[in-house]
Amino acid sequence: MTTSLKQLLVHLDATPQAAQRLEAACRIGQVHGAAVTALYAVTPSFVALPFAPEIGSGVAASLHELDEELHTRARAAFDKALAAPGMKAAWAEVDNDPVMGVFAQQALYADLLVLGQATPAGERADGVPADFVESVLVSSGKPALVLPYIGAPSIIGETVVVAWKPTREAARAVSAALPLLQRAAQVHILSWSDGDEAVGGEGLSLGGYLALHGVKAIWHRETQVPDLLGELLLSRAFDLEADLLVMGCYGHSRAREWVLGGTSRTVLRSMTLPVLMAH
């Protein structure tokens, strides 16, 4: 039986990339019969500034005008996207800071999030923290489709590459991606692990799991994990002409800070294709 997504949540801001995310989410929503909600969530300009007691009412008013301008721009892009045939989505917005916490809470009620790769260093990203993607992934526990800053292909999920190792994060990513994997023309599994622990009798496996869900996969097995796995994953995905990479998002706590593992950090920094991640 084919699995379907029923609720998508898209992150909106005032950048051109936000409109691309909305369009991609609406196209996925069309295929799956899913509801799409676009949530405008940016940190107010006044909050983003370093604390300065001398900031007066005039400066505060100017910052408020800037926020209103960004909001108006985002709403106009939303309305323009929905003017195209078949595009359907609901508008929502975060009223107060902290926006990241509110977005993560709203994410709890979605099957899949549609987020954007962080803006490259040196380019302005109004009101969106650089660690927005990883923070939402960790806080909500929900899977996210992250679209590259340079833009996404018109079709996502025709040729899919799954980065597999027997971990919780990778398993959650595969489960979240099932609705897309079941509709893909080709699914490639890239595996650099030594495999599962030995189990007597008829044990379970990823191949068996996918087959039960109607997914035929092509396996590419290697036993030794390379030092630069993130770069190799992106290179293999390019060679296979993939339009989607599915992988776990790995990290660890350091005091009260969450730090990405090397592979996840590399992919999020250097990605040129959509990546479906789960933590």
Are 7-147 and 159-278 equal in CATH topology?
Answer: yes
In the predicted structure, residue 227 carries a pLDDT above the cut 90: no
Q: What is the CATH number of domain 159-278?
A: 3.40.50.620
Q: How far is CA 31 from CA 57, 80, 224, in A?
A: 49, 21, 38
* More confidently predicted of 177 and 197: 177
pLDDT tens digit string along 70-118? 999 999 999 999 999 989 999 999 987 788 899 999 999 999 999 999 9
pLDDT tens digit string along 132-146? 999 999 999 999 999
By DSSP bridging, strand 244-248 and strand 159-164 are: parallel
Q: What is the CATH number of domain 7-147?
A: 3.40.50.620
Averaged pLDDT of the chain = 88
pTM, to two decimals: 0.91
Annotate the chain with DSSP letters as a single string.
Answer: ------EEEEEE-SSHHHHHHHHHHHHHHHHHT-EEEEEE----HHHHSPP-TT--HHHHHHHHHHHHHHHHHHHHHHHHHHTSTT---EEEE--SS-HHHHHHHHHTT-SEEEEEPPPPTTS--TT--TTHHHHHHHHH---EEEEPTT---SS-SSEEEEEE-SSHHHHHHHHHHHHHHTT-SEEEEEE-S--SPP-SSS---HHHHHHHTT---EEEE-SS--TTHHHHHHHHHHHTT-SEEEEE--EEEETTEEEE-HHHHHHHHH--S-EEEE-
Residue carrying the six token digits 């929502």: 92
pLDDT tens digit string along 229-269? 899 999 999 999 999 999 999 865 554 444 566 889 899 99
* Three-point CA angle 30, 31, 37, nearest 5°: 45
**Domain locations along the chain:** 7-147, 159-278
Number of Cβ atoms within 10 Å of the Cβ of 221: 11
Confidence of residue 197 (pLDDT cuts 50, 70, 90): low
